Structures are given as C-alpha cells and as structure tokens.
Structure 1
Amino acid sequence: MSIKLNSGYEMPLVGFGCWKLDESKASEVVLDAIESGYKLFDGAQDYGNCKQIGEALKKSPVPREKLFITSKLWNSYHDPKHVEEACDKVLSDLGLDYLDLWLIHFPIAQKFIPFDKKYPPGFTCSLEDDKFHFEDIPLAETWKAMKSLAKKGKVKSIGISNFSGALIQDLLRGCEIKPAVLQIEHHAYLQQPRLIEYVQSQGIAITAYSSFGPQSFLELKSKKALDTPTLFAHDTIKTIASKHDKSPAQILLRWTTQRNIAVIPKSNNKKRMIENLKVTDFDLSEEEMKEISKLDKELRFNDPWDWDKIPIFI
C-alpha cells in the first residue's frame, strides 16, 4: 500500500527507519530489510550512516526505481547557499542520482560547519564547545532552495519534519511548491489530532516516527522515556493484540496506517522486520481505534525545548 503525494509520486505506507542504525551494522541491516520487502528507507544527514546505507543500496537486488529513499537537510545547512551542497553530499554518500524525498529535518537554523571540518556536524553544530549555535535564516529562504532542487531533478519531492501548525501555515502562504510530506513524532502517547487534521486537509501526507513511543528513546537514556510505561505492555494494546493474534507493535502500527499515516519502524531483527511490514492486511474496529485514542498523554519525547529552550512546540 502507498500514499499518493501532492507531487504526483507514490510513497509506501510502511517504510524502514534508519535513525540509530549503528554504522558497523547499517549496511547489513538495510540489506536484510530490502530482502524482507521494504521499499522505503528513511535516513538523514544527522544519522551518520549514509555511506553504509549506500553500500547496501549498491548490493540491493531491487532496482533503484522501485525504492523510495528519504533523507533530511540538517540544521546547520539552512542557509540557501548550503542547501544544494548538503543534498549533493547525501547523494554522493548514498551513491544515488536523486532522492525520492528531501525534508527539512527541523525548523531550526544552526551554525554552518564546513564538511571538511566536521561531518555530520553533530547535535549542537559546534566545534568549540557543547552549546547550541544558531544562524538567522528564515524558513522561507531555505524552502526556496529546497524548491530549486526539485526543479533540477535532484529530489522528486520536498517536505518538512518536526514543524508546528503555525509554521506550516506560514510556509504555505508564500511557497510555490507545497510540502509533499510532514514527518512528526506520533504515537499513542502523542497523537496531535488537530495537527494531523489540518495537514491532511492541505493535501500534505504525514509520516509518523517513533510509533512505539518511549521505546524509541530508551537507547538515548531519556529519563522521560525510562519513566514512561512501555506501550507494548499496556493493557489496552495487549488486549487488542490478543483479539487479532498480532503483536503489540503490529497493533500500534496498524492504528497509524489505518488513518493513512505512513510509518517507519526500525528493527535489527529480521523476524520483527517482517512482522512490522505486515500491518495493512487487517483492520482494527472503530471501537478499538477509539480505545487507543484514549491513551493520548500529549507526551513528547523529542522536544527542542529540552535541548536549549528552542520554542517550536510551545
């Protein structure tokens, strides 16, 4: 199954997320995912594993045109004069001629760091200390540079990630090309129904990341995640999983895909990879969908306010 984007292209409804894929295992894991049937691979400059993903794509038995490759512009390359340079770097590392989808990773413009100084430039984009360093680059200017890449054919579709409704509305007021996709943190503990309603009403597709809630942030030793009960063990999710003879992960993914929201789960285990891919061949009842909707806590794990009081979601 797929979602028809406003750019005219089809995006698979279920993809494979490459965030936190260890460099030493990334190539092998991505090859396993391709063999398991995944077509969409979601990466980013900041993940630091583009070259390893590129190695897997070179060995892929699936033709390039059958795959959907997403990557993201990191915060330190928002200045229009660096956007194409950043995209070219990703294409080179991946060994590709074009990307299917190129997203602005965060609506945050950080200090530029030349590729030969440090790449990826790191979370704070700093060479001299561990503090965040910013640049005054309007999002509209970055978006114009993103648009030029689509017109040149280096990317087929352009989109955004981690944007709030107000930022999206402002971007739409002046853009020639609408974002094709919005990627957001979305799970049973953070549902954002108004944002989803607004974005879908504008003809913009949505991709959910961290569909399993706190599970995605345990590796980062997030205190908020460690203190939050796992969705896999929640009574509501376990009961519904038992009724359908499915895993809790499959129930969480189906709750999302059943609302035409794409998902990008990650697993290093091939059995679970295949399991996560099989989430469109059954339906949850209306009552089950409502029961999961009741779990919303507006609990955000990936919040820039926690990094450096960056006010995206306040």
Structure 2
Amino acid sequence: MLGLQYFSFADLWSPLFLAGMLLVTAAYFVLIGPLSSRFPGAAPVSFFRRTLFVCGMVALYLAQGGPVSLLGHIMFSFHMLSMALSYLVAVPLIMLGIPDWIWRAALKVNPLRRLSFLAHPVVAALLFNGLFSLYHVPVIHDYVMLHFTVHRLYYMILFLTAALMWWTLINPLPERKMASGLGKIGFIFLNMVLLTPACGLIIFAGEPLYATYSDPDAWAKAMGYCVSGDPAALLKAFGGPTFFGWLSPKVDQQVGGIAMKFIQEFIFASMLAYVFYHWYKKENGQDDREDSGASSGLEGVV
C-alpha cells in the first residue's frame, strides 16, 4: 500500500524514536503517580486527561516517526498531514493532558519566566504561523529537508511555538487571567488568516515548488535521513518519488495545501464554536443575574 512494502520495519516505525516517546510517556505517568507528592498542590489526574496525553503522544509519534513521517518524505500531501498532526492535533492534546500543578512547577524555572512575553497571543500567533509559512518557502523547505540537523531543530522550534500559540486557547493555569470570549474568537480568526497565504501559494502554484518531491536526486538525499541504506540505491531502485505516488507532483502539492487548510479550518472552526457557545452562555448568565438583581431591587422599593 502506497509503496510501504518496499521499506523495512525500522524504516516504517523508527524504533529509536518510538523508544524515546515511550520513555517520555512513562516519565509522565511516574510524575503524576509516584512522584506527584513532590509537587505542591498535586491532585489525582483523571483518566480522561491521561487519555488525552497518550493520544497526543501517539499522534506525534505517527507524524514524526511512524509511517506518516516516511510517506511525508515521498508525497507532499502526507508531509502536510504530518504537519497538521504534529502541531494542530498532538500539541493541544499533550498540553491538555498535563495537569496544572506540573505546569506551575515548570513555569517557576527562571529562563521560562523571562520568556513569558512569547506567550502573548499576537506574538505567539505571529511566531508559529510566520515560521510555518517561512518553512514552506520553496528554497527554505528544500534546504531544511536536505540538512538533517537543521530539519530536527526547525521542527522542535515549530513544536514550541505551536505550544505558545495554543496556550491562549487552552490556558492550562485557571488562576491566570484568561482572554475574554471575544478575545479568543479574534485570536482564532487571526490564526486562520495568517496561515492562508502559505496555503494559497501552495494550492495555486502553476508548477511543483519543491525539489524534494519532484527532483529525483534531491528526493533520494532527503530520503537518506529517514531510511536505512544508500540513497543512490533508492534512486536506482525507484527512480524518484513518482514511483510511489498516483498523483503528479503538482496535484499532490495542491492536495497537500488543501488538506492543511481544511484540517486547520476544521480544528479552529470547532474551537470557535466551542468558545462562542460558552461565551454566549456566560453573557446570558450575567444578564440573567443582572435582571434578577434588578427585579429584587424593584421588589424592595415597592
């Protein structure tokens, strides 16, 4: 299926990365379990919250170490799926899975406190969407894909800026001042707008933009970082990425841009509906209390 049968188990499932993800997950359960007494204000973590964390780790593993990651080096559409899973699905799930008392302990670290300005809604939105858009400028994308160390570093920075962006919507610390319902709605719209130019460039381009998905030599070099064996052997065996795809590079690129925009719109539209619903309920509740107070006052006068 999709040519995955041509690759080894290690190529498909990245055992070292899987081991790292399992260690992080195990550390999470140790922190919320046996070591929780060392944290001030620690409380039992619900099964639902634990499930969110595990689901986030699974999504991140599939996107960055599992078959989706490998396919993301073959087809641009899967690359965009990997991006969406990593930064629009995994990040908020992991953040929601971490209890507030761990967040408080982490944020007491001085370097993190000094960087708190990066979590300002506008700054966070500009950082994540700006870096994401910059990454998909063709010359930068190809450079990052062809240089393994830069690739990993850039992805880590994207993960951190995605967490900053999601902080405004999730607000893991209830005692901290939250953005108003109207402010969150504006923040969601800002994120939806900021990602549009990059997706538009990709969708409406008249030709393939990325050498790593259209040029066999560049593709083989990029593949050399995620599969075992000599890249030259890959090139000799398959001739290039078109061997695996049923779409032309241009159509695959367009599908990737549409998929990314659709997933983003769906996730943020769902958040928008949720925020608007609770904001509306809160406003009506306040109005009801005000009406009740006014009625009581009138009754007292009478």
Larger helix share, 1 or 2: 2
More strand by proportion, 1 or 2? 1
TM-score calculated relative to the size of structure 1 = 0.23
User: Which has the higher relative contact order, 1 or 2, with Cα contacts under 8 A spaced 6 or more apart?
Assistant: 2
